[in-house]
Structure 1
Amino acid sequence: MSFTLAIVGRPNVGKSTLFNRLVGKKLALVDDQPGVTRDLREGAARLGDLRFTVIDTAGLEDATDDSLQGRMRRLTERAVEMADVCLFLVDARAGVLPTDQIFAEILRRKNAHVILAANKAEGRAGEAGMLEAYSLGLGEPVPLSAEHGEGMEELYQRLRPLADAFDERAADTAPETDVDVAEGDEDGPRVPTQAKPLQIAVIGRPNAGKSTLINRIIGQDRLLTGPEAGITRDAISLRTDWEGTPVRIFDTAGMRKRAKVQDKLEKLSVSDGLRAVRFAEVVIVLLDVEIPFEQQDLRIADFAETEGRAVVIAVNKWDLEEAKQEKLAELREMFERLLPQLRGAPMVTVSAMTGRGLDRLHKAVMKAHEVWNRRITTAKLNQWLGAMTEAHPPPAPGGRRVKLRYMTQVKTRPPGFVVMCSHPEKLPDSYTRYLVNGLRDAFDMPGTPIRMTLRSQSDQNPYKDRKKSTPSRLRKHLGKPPLK
């Protein structure tokens, strides 16, 4: 990316709509009610031949206290300081308000490159506000209509001279999943780099401490936090180095039970968080130690496993627990009983508020990522399969035993295996689970999703179609000529 552009302005002037227009996707939540955006959302933007990072910010409000609006304003001001270029958006239909004047003065102090744009300028209704924007003293305003895509050429002409002044930076895309394994390919797991960092999603119920945990990992108050439940709405991604590992962390909105999600905005937030799981390689399911493993926690963890992502269970607010040993034993028993599909997955106790346990969480994430990339040779698999079938032979439905002939790994991320056998449709699910659990134990693959496919291989006799012939010695005895 050549530069970073922050879009700022009062609530409901169209910042998120313009953000979505620039990135070419509906990444930011958009609604008629003001104050939808609360955190900073970054995206890879494209405008003509320009490639840059765009930041959607919360609406600037005239509040400086510790209220939610005051914390949102401080977060937006930090984004202004971080950005190379600041795009100040005003509403051409509403005109310039006193709040716009206040924030124009703030922008003049904080950022050297400020572009003024008047949104909703389509038609005659926006002409008066467009002319009024000159009074802000930030130069000629760019007339825009983010909703209809008007004014993008004018914005390009203003950004083009600035783009040449900044160095290019690397971008990154969705992670590789379900990677094919070639025979004899024994490469190790992918090592995260600055160009392709390890992608991690933090998910959980509201007020479990997801944003606080990520702020502690990156070492700054980058995400909006507070005692109010449901502060985070967008799935926000951040890049950082976590104990020497380049990572990209997704913070997601808290996910309540579906029956309780009635508000349209909350539905959008939850779907945004589910989409973040699909962009992750490792998913951290964050639990509250006071109410762990509730029904919604189980659904969230099961969703991550169904999507084929490596899963780490983190129990937050451990600093508030007094009987730690008894509680830990209770948590382990609940985990094994309620989430058997993630048997052996790492479970780590942490305190996002104090930072304790984050080193163990990092080790658990790296271990889960390594197992998720695990490759096993065909020779070892078939040696193991022979021992497993000898110890516990497959069932014989209808009096004919199912024969497991051989096994091979066909994919990683997550590990996928194919077993060639006779009558695969007759092999019960319990025996498949027996094989999957045996794989976890024998090849040290705890917790990671394992995909096992049974395929039919008919027991064909290679001599079935060949005509029967009389043995040569018998032919000689019978006085018949030898076969040519």
Structure 2
Amino acid sequence: MLGALGASHLDSMMPNRKPLIALVGRPNVGKSTLFNRLMGSRKAIVEDEPGVTRDRQYGDAEMLTREVVLVDTGGFDPLDDEGMLPLMREQARIAIDQADAIIWLTSVREDVTPADQEVGAVLRESDKPVFCAVNKCDSRGLETEALSFYSLGVDHVYPIAAEHNRGVLDLIEAVIDALVERDAFAPIDNAEPSKDPEEIAELKSQRGGYVEQVRVSVVGRPNVGKSTLINTLLGAERLLASDVPGTTRDAIDVDFTWQGESFTLIDTAGMRRPSRIRQSVEQYSVSRTVRSIERSHVAILVLDATRTLADQDARIANLVERRGRACCVVVNKWDLVEKDGKTMRAYELDLAEQMPFLAQAPKLFISAKTGRRVDKVMGVVMQAFRAFDARIGTSRVNRWLENTTAFRQPPVYKGKRLKIYFASQTSTRPPRIRLQVNSDKAVSEHYQRFLVGRLRQEFGLYGTPIRLDFVKKQARRSRSVTIDGPAPPHMMMVDLDELDEQELLGLDQAHHAEDSSENLSSDDMSLVNDDDWSISLPSDE
């Protein structure tokens, strides 16, 4: 049995449940603005036009020292079936079903509408605590106008201005009180204890650090099937997916577990050519996509097999490589391609010709819609991540270097052959190798590509960029040892770079053994000065 201290320590690591608070309401009432306010960051795209938010956007937040999960939803209009609204409505209903509490946003700038009445009826059926927040009350006069929303049959109306943080504290105090009353913050039964902070600190101290969750961004042109791929991986309609290009507008993080490993899948907006971007919302979306690539470990580049490879595909792939992220290629809609036994090989050759920097990346040909070969995607992702996170011992790198330079000699520069003396890995994610050379100017691009290719082949580094740093070896400066008193001539100058402390003390003892004519006391023992690396011996005077 655990002792009192052990049990207390274990209890402290047991995670408490984080209640989920859903933000729902008609389009363009300020849900994303309130979401960003409560999150303390601009996580959701905000624009003064309806329908900007479409997918559910989750985020961890701290409210009055309590940890909660917030979910922003798309516009919920039960009476409108135009365009994307039915799909957005279904996403909002899922959030309502999952929520422990609901903040229902309306806008004081519009009177109570039939759509508001319908939303209220749906929320009353949920049997969840509902808090009606009337947004955009930027003045006391507008707060008075908000009282008209009592006609919706709610117990209390909270006038707020999310953009200016007006009235928000009263709202969250009411929400937290209701959650506490419902015991929503209770510890999770049968939950796995959190990792010991000391264990995490030890893992983080290891070279390369510790990754609790592998972050995987899914990128590509519009309408190639990124959201459908994630939905198929999850086995649920988590993300809004349709045949309309540009359905996804924001970068959506989805936590996911595969074979005991934790991942964050990041669905991103499709990236079009800059010349075709017209709306500011799309500019925000592309900016978020770039940031999503930067914070991911691995990028899945999704290509549409039914469309020819385009320059924009190459631009996106090049962006991933320049940001130093691992990459694997998923060719989607392969079920729609007329093919024979040579079709896949022909596509791979075309891909290698147009994007040579992706020739080494793992590739899969799938159908996200039917699920064909989707079960292999995460295996390919882990292959790329292990290469991205690889750590190679110095002795192994130098054996590789010796064999590689023997296989193909380094080039000659201005009549002098390049020499590579030593190699070592200095960092991971991506792997970075430092090579000591006699001339950093003698390294040609062709020979660099040769070295990178041999590294991939030797250590299986497929799917990750490899960075090589060529550093000119500096001439070693000899440091002298000064000996006071008689000493053998061969001891008057010693290269101390070759000696450790025990060998330095050995020099001292050898001197005493040769000087047998005089007995030295313990007070006359030689002193080693670390500052100037000199050995001071007693004189004969």
Q: TM-score range by the shorter chain?
A: 0.7 to 0.9
Distance in 1, matches of 2:96 and 2:239, equals: 15
Distance verdict in 2 for CA 1:256–1:465, change over 3 Å: farther
How do 1:354-393 and structure 2 match up within 5 A? 354-393=370-409
* Letter aligned with residue 165 of structure 2: G
Q: CA deviation at 1:50?
A: 2.7
* Letter aligned with residue 37 of structure 2: R
Match of 1:23 among 39, 44, 49: 39
Distance verdict in 2 for CA 1:271–1:449, change over 3 Å: same
How big is each residue's C-alpha offset from its partner over 1:155-176, in whole Å with a ceiling of 9 and x where there is no partner? 231122234322468999xxx9
Q: Point out the structure with max Rg over C-alpha.
A: 2
Map of 2:72 onto structure 1: 56
Structure 1 contact 24–46 (Cα < 8 Å) conserved: no
Q: Which segments of 5 or more consecutive residues in structure 1 lack a partner in the other structure?
A: 474-483
- Whether 1:224 and 2:246 are equivalent positions in the alignment is no
Q: CA deviation at 1:247?
A: 2.1
For the residue of structure 2 that corresponds to 1:232, the secondary structure is coil
- Whether 1:299 and 2:299 are equivalent positions in the alignment is no
Distance in 1, matches of 2:100 and 2:23, equals: 11
Structure 1 contact 199–282 (Cα < 8 Å) conserved: yes
Map of 1:253 onto structure 2: 269
Match of 2:281 among 260, 265, 279: 265
How do 1:261-340 and structure 2 match up within 5 A? 261-340=277-356
Q: CA deviation at 1:286?
A: 0.4
How big is each residue's C-alpha offset from its partner over 1:35-78, in whole Å with a ceiling of 9 and x where there is no partner? 11111111222333232111111111234758421111111111
Larger relative CO (CA 8 A, sep 6+): 1 or 2? Answer: 1
TM-score by length of 1: 0.88
How big is each residue's C-alpha offset from its partner over 1:127-147, in whole Å with a ceiling of 9 and x where there is no partner? 343111212122111121111
Distance in 2, matches of 1:302 and 1:204, equals: 12
For the residue of structure 1 that corresponds to 2:47, the secondary structure is coil
Distance in 1, matches of 2:123 and 2:274, equals: 42
Q: CA deviation at 1:368?
A: 1.0
Distance in 2, matches of 1:240 and 1:369, equals: 16
Structure 1 contact 65–71 (Cα < 8 Å) conserved: no
Map of 2:184 onto structure 1: 166
* Letter aligned with residue 319 of structure 2: F
Distance in 1, matches of 2:147 and 2:82, equals: 36
Distance in 2, matches of 1:298 and 1:272, equals: 19
Q: Which segments of 5 or more consecutive residues in structure 2 lack a partner in the other structure?
A: 1-16, 483-487, 491-539
Percent sequence identity over aligned pairs = 35
Distance verdict in 2 for CA 1:14–1:443, change over 3 Å: same
Distance in 2, matches of 1:463 and 1:197, equals: 49
For the residue of structure 1 that corresponds to 2:45, the secondary structure is coil
Map of 2:254 onto structure 1: 238
Structure 2 contact 25–105 (Cα < 8 Å) conserved: yes
Worse-superposed segment, 108-117 or 258-267: 108-117
Distance in 1, matches of 2:178 and 2:431, equals: 46
How big is each residue's C-alpha offset from its partner over 1:423-458, in whole Å with a ceiling of 9 and x where there is no partner? 213322222221111100111111211111111212
How big is each residue's C-alpha offset from its partner over 1:372-416, in whole Å with a ceiling of 9 and x where there is no partner? 111111001111111212222222322232221100011112111
Distance in 1, matches of 2:477 and 2:291, equals: 50
Distance in 2, matches of 1:6 and 1:392, equals: 63
Map of 1:130 onto structure 2: 146
Worse-superposed segment, 1-10 or 256-265: 1-10
Structure 2 contact 439–472 (Cα < 8 Å) conserved: yes
CA RMSD of aligned residues (A): 2.8
Q: CA deviation at 1:314?
A: 0.2
Q: CA deviation at 1:233?
A: 0.5
Distance in 2, matches of 1:181 and 1:328, equals: 44
For the residue of structure 2 that corresponds to 1:312, the secondary structure is strand
Map of 1:45 onto structure 2: 61
- Whether 1:9 and 2:31 are equivalent positions in the alignment is no
* Letter aligned with residue 409 of structure 2: P
Distance verdict in 2 for CA 1:4–1:463, change over 3 Å: closer
Structure 1 contact 93–125 (Cα < 8 Å) conserved: no
Structure 2 contact 79–115 (Cα < 8 Å) conserved: no
* Letter aligned with residue 244 of structure 2: E
For the residue of structure 1 that corresponds to 2:163, the secondary structure is coil
For the residue of structure 2 that corresponds to 1:325, the secondary structure is coil
How do 1:193-208 and structure 2 match up within 5 A? 196-208=212-224
**How many equivalent residue pairs?**
457
Structure 1 contact 180–410 (Cα < 8 Å) conserved: no
Distance in 1, matches of 2:481 and 2:443, equals: 30
Distance in 1, matches of 2:68 and 2:194, equals: 9
